[in-house]
Amino acid sequence: MRRNRAASPRKWLRLLLFLALIPATAGAPVDAAEANPAAPLAVLFLIPTRWVVARQFFPIVEMLEEQGVLVEIASDQRHTHTFWEDFVARQTVGDREPSYHLAVDLTYDDVCLADYAAVLVPGGHSHHGIIADERAQEILTAAAATRSVVGGIGQGVSVLVEFGLVRGREATIAPGDEDDAPTPNSRRIIEEAGGVYVASCVVTSTGTESTAIVITSTSRCVTGFARAVLHALFEIEEGAH
């Protein structure tokens, strides 16, 4: 039978040395900022109750999400938005039934602007609903007064024009035509809003260190618009570090 012996002084010394070598932070709670990776960049789309052009929305969302950007949708009320057949590009949906339904994430009243690095307005044919909504105007105007990204494509640009967000900035617009091509009125609309018209598919106005980057685009340049938004987002993110 083995006898139990008291630990020798030398053993106690080795134990104390071992404990002294354990980092002081071992077992301590980890700071939340260290435990969680940085929150992804988030983009908010403002959409009317109906008639958003699918080809001016889904490809943009797809490109943003492929780069790890979180996309959310706000409208004047919670509803399931329908993207109708007439507004779906064949190259986007192929031979599937071209009807899409998408739930709105939050209402304008629910929006916390600090959560988003960009506020965008997609193209469509019912933007008077956004233009007439004071809450939507407050969101876009406040975003334009911060170092963020504000953008509109197709008829979405008309919302930025109505809210005075192209004043003093270069911008493009293509009002009214089926293919959203520039018209003789394009220059007049931008200049009457206090902006500088540029006959280009996508125009980025960089703003200042304390104001938004404003991006305007005709509906022909969906990919170019998405790329411009991504470039602006990453530019702002780099500048914040």
Number of domains in the chain: 1
Q: How high is the pLDDT of residue 207?
A: 83
Q: How many angstroms separate the CA atoms of 35 and 33, rounded?
A: 6
Q: How high is the pLDDT of residue 85?
A: 46
The pTM score is 0.77
- 25 assigned to some structural domain: no
- 117 assigned to some structural domain: yes
- 18 assigned to some structural domain: no
- 241 residues of the chain, pLDDT tens digit each: 333 344 444 544 444 444 444 444 344 443 433 434 466 899 999 988 766 777 788 889 999 999 999 999 999 887 776 665 444 444 444 444 445 677 889 999 999 999 999 999 988 766 788 999 999 999 999 999 999 999 999 889 999 999 999 999 999 998 654 445 566 788 999 999 999 999 999 999 998 888 999 999 998 899 999 999 999 999 998 876 6
As a three-state string, the secondary structure of 166-182 is CCCCEECCCCCCCCCCC
Contact 154, 124 (CB under 8 A): yes
Q: How high is the pLDDT of residue 197?
A: 95
Amino acid at 172: T
- Which CATH number do you get for residue 113? 3.40.50.880
- 15 assigned to some structural domain: no
- 20 assigned to some structural domain: no
Q: How many angstroms separate the CA atoms of 144 and 227, rounded?
A: 19
- 13 assigned to some structural domain: no
H-only helix segments in the chain: 9-21, 32-35, 58-66, 90-93, 128-131, 134-144, 156-162, 185-192, 222-240
For residue 163, give the nearest of 199, 135, 123, 183 by alpha carbon.
Answer: 135
In terms of DSSP bridges, do strands 70-75 and 42-46 run parallel, antiparallel, or are they unpaired? parallel
- 98 assigned to some structural domain: yes
- 6 assigned to some structural domain: no
Question: What's the domain range around 116?
Answer: 31-240
